[in-house]
Amino acid sequence: MSTQRTPPNTLNLSANKTRIQLHGSDPHLNIHMESDNECSTLTRRQKRKIPEPSEESSLMQELRRMFNDFNKQQNQKIETLITSINEIKQQNVEIRESISFLSAKYDDVLKELEHIKKKIV
């Protein structure tokens, strides 16, 4: 019994001639039987077409235009948000000033009230 496993020197054809035993080192790889050839052309996958450069460039231009439009929209929204935040900050400063003023006036009113109570008693 041979322990060496090598492909046979000739093509092995089965009895019904539907298969050819092919190996990577076989010089007759491009030979196909009629039935194999018919079968392989029916099931062979079509190669993907390479897009033309004009199609690619127009697609890239469209994508760039869309990205630029999106970028402009986002920048406008950000500017609007920044403006609103600055207005809110200014309102907060004014509210703090008003609260400080009212707090000081309240303290003055309490002092006057205490002073009046002392005069009455």
Q: Per-residue pLDDT tens for 57-115? A: 888 999 999 999 999 999 999 999 999 999 999 999 999 999 999 999 999 999 999 99
Please report whether residue 51 resides in a domain.
no
Judge if pTM exceeds 0.75: no
Please report whether residue 76 resides in a domain.
yes
* Structure-model confidence comparison of residues 56 and 23, the more confident one: 56
Tell whether 41 and 64 lie within a shared domain.
no
Tell whether 68 and 21 lie within a shared domain.
no
Amino acid making up residue 106? Y
Tell whether 73 and 99 lie within a shared domain.
yes
Nearest to 15 by CA among 35, 39, 42: 35
Please report whether residue 55 resides in a domain.
no
Q: How many CB atoms sit inside 10 A of residue 20's CB?
A: 16
Domain containing 17 equals: 10-45
| Residues 31, 35, 36, 42, Cα dihedral to 10° | 130
CA–CA dist 70, 62 (Å, integer): 12
* Structure-model confidence comparison of residues 41 and 120, the more confident one: 120
* Structure-model confidence comparison of residues 54 and 7, the more confident one: 54
Please report whether residue 16 resides in a domain.
yes
